[in-house]
Amino acid sequence: MASSSGEYDVIVERNLEVPMRDGTILRADVWRPDAEGKFPVLIERTPYDKTGSSESNLGAGEFYGSHGYVVLIQDVRGRFASDGEFYPFRDDGDGENKDGYDTVEWAAEQSWSNGKIGTIGGSYSGATQYRMLSTQPPHLKAQFSRQSSADYYDEWVYRSGAFEHGFNVMWTLKHTATNARKLAATGAEDATDKSVNQASDDYQKWLEHSPISPLPPVAELHDWFTDWMNHPNHDDFWEEFSNARSHDRVNVPVHHFGSWYDCFLAGTLRNFSGMSSKAATAEAREGQRITIGPWVHNPGPADMREAGDVDFGEQAILGWFETRLRWFDHWLKGIDNGVDTDKPVKLFAMGINEWREFDEWPPAAVKNTPFYLSAGTSGSAKSLNDGVLSLEKPTLFGEVFDEYDSDPENPIRSFGGGHLGDNNGPRDQRGYEDRMLTYTTEILEDDLDVTGPVKAVLHASTSAMDTDWVVRITDVHPDGTSMLVCDGILRGRFKDSFEKPVALVPHMPTEFEVDLWATSHVFQKGHRLRVAIASSSFPRWDRNWQTGKNNALDSSGIVAHNRIFRDEVRPSHVILPLL
C-alpha cells in the first residue's frame, strides 16, 4: 500500500454510473479529496475488477486523492460491474464505440473535476490508454502508461508469427472465469461454474492440450479467442487493434514506462519512437518520455529491485507513485518541476546497475557491430556444440554448419525472459543449453556495453516446410552462470511478411532475421557473451508442428532437421548495439 500522506483526507464513492454513447452503462469507483473545489482527474480503465485492479490494489486512490487529485477506476465494458459485452480492445479506441473518449469527457463534466484529465495504469490498462489516443478526447492532457503494446498482433497475441501461448491461454481462461456473472446471463452457468473456473485453476494442464483451438473450457463462451487463433497472420482483422497506425493523431504528452524483461517491451519502445516523431502537435512530440528499468511485468515496477535470479540493487527503485506524481503535477497542475526539460530517454544499464539518460532512442552513439558464429570450441558450455562467437567474419569455404533435430513432441521448455508466468526475468540457462547450439566469446578483457535494438541474422535450413528460430543472448559469469539478457523468436514462414507467410523450401539455405527486441546490459570484464540457438521455447510460445499449416488447429507434426551455417558465404551472426 502506498503512503497516502498528503494535505487532504479522501472520500470514496462506489459504482458511479458512466453512460457510453450507445447507452451502455460502465461503472467506476472514485476517490476524491474531502474538500471543496475542483481537481484534476486520473483515470484507470481495467478489465481486472476496479476493486482489485493494479491501481486500486496498490492504493492509487488514497495516494493521489490525498495529493489533490480525483482518481476514477472503471470496469471496462462487459467486465464485473459494467454492462455490455467484453471483446478485448474493441471498444476502447476509435471503433463504433469509443469508451475511453466517453469516459474522459464524462469525468471532465463532473462537479469535482477541473476539466484536466490524465490516465494511469499498465498492461491492459495501458492498452486502454493507448487506444483512446486515436480519438483525441478534448480534456485529456497527459498519460502515464506502463508496460503495454503498440500492436496487439505482434506484442500480445503473437510474436514474429509464433503464438504467445503461455500468456494467452492463461489470460483467456482466467478472465473468462472471472466473467462468471456475464456468462451466467447467457445461460452458461454450468460451464462457468464447473469447467471454466476449474480450467483457470488448472491452466498448466491446458497449456499441454492440443489442438489449441477450440479451447474446450471456453469454446462456446467467447468468440474472441477463436478469432485470434483463426488469424495467425497480420491481416485486416488486426488493423483495428493497432495503436501504431494512429501515432500521428496523438496530441498529449505520454510517459511510456517499460521493463527489459517485459512481454510488451517492444510496444513500449515502438509507441515512444512513433509518437516522438509523428505526434500531431509539437508539444506532444516534445512531451514524449520513456523509462525502461530492469524489472519483469509488474503492477508497481519502480518499487522493485529484484527480477528473476538477479538483485539490481537499491538504485533500481525509483518510487512508483512519486515518479508519476511529478509527471502529473507538471502536466495537470502546471507545477514547474523540470519534467519538461528532462532528457527524453532514461534507461537502466544492467550489469553495472545504474541509470543513464539519452536524447533519443536508440542512443546516437551506438555502433551496430556483428558478432559471428565461428569455428572452434569455447570450452565454457555443455551444449550440442560449444561453439565460438567472434568479431572475425568466417573465412571457411563450402557448407559449414552445426545441426540439430527439432521435435515438436519434445520441445525445449521455456525458462526466463520477458513473459507473463512463472520463472520469468533473468534466469540461468545452463540447464537448457545441453539441447541447444551455443556460441561464446573469449573472456572479455574490457566491459562490453550493449544498449539498443538487438537482432540475429541466421543463415539456416530446415528439412520441413516451417520451423522456429529461437535465439537467446546470455551473460556468462566467471562461475559459469549463463544469465539470460534478451531473446527472440521467428516462425520461419514469416521471414518476409507477417501478412502473407510463405512455406519454406526444405533443405534450402535461407537468411532469417530474428528480432531480440532490445536491452541495455554491460557485459563486464572477466565475463563472456553467449548466443544460444534452438527451435522451440514451450509453453511460452506454441509448438510449431513444422507442417506450414495453422499450428493452433493441429495436434501432430513432424521432426525437422535444422542447420545453422557459419561459412564465408553464409556468415550467421548477431548484431549488437555497442556504446
What percentage of the chain reaches a pLDDT higher than 90? Answer: 91
Residue 277: active-site member: no
Residue 255: active-site member: no
Residue 477: active-site member: no
Q: How far is CA 381 from the centre of its chain?
A: 30
Whether 249 has a pLDDT exceeding 80, the answer reads: yes
| Structural Rg of the chain based on CA atoms | 24
Whether 187 has a pLDDT exceeding 80, the answer reads: no
Task: List beta partners, residue 53.
Answer: none
Whether 184 has a pLDDT exceeding 80, the answer reads: no
Map 266-308 to HEC letters: HHHHHHHHHHHHHCCCHHHHHCCEEEEEEEECCCCHHHCCEEC
Task: Give the active site residue among 222, 297, 527, 573.
Answer: 297
Task: Give the active site residue among 29, 92, 102, 262.
Answer: 262
Whether 3 has a pLDDT exceeding 60, the answer reads: no
Task: Give the active site residue among 53, 56, 66, 123.
Answer: 123
Q: 401-430 burial by CB neighbour count: b if 16+ within 10 A, else e?
A: bbebebbbeebbebbbbbbbbeebbbbbbb
Interval 275-301: pLDDT, tens? 999 999 999 999 999 999 999 999 999
Interval 462-499: pLDDT, tens? 999 999 999 999 999 999 999 999 999 999 999 999 99
Give the pLDDT band (50/70/90) at residue 183.
low
Backbone φ and ψ of 60, nearest 5°: -60, -40
- Arithmetic mean of pLDDT, 492-521: 98
Whether 47 has a pLDDT exceeding 50, the answer reads: yes
Interval 143-169: pLDDT, tens? 999 999 999 999 999 999 999 999 999
Rounded Cα gap, residues 267 and 262, in angstroms: 10
Interval 544-563: pLDDT, tens? 999 999 999 999 999 999 99
Whether 422 has a pLDDT exceeding 90, the answer reads: no
Interval 197-224: pLDDT, tens? 787 788 889 999 999 999 988 887 778 9
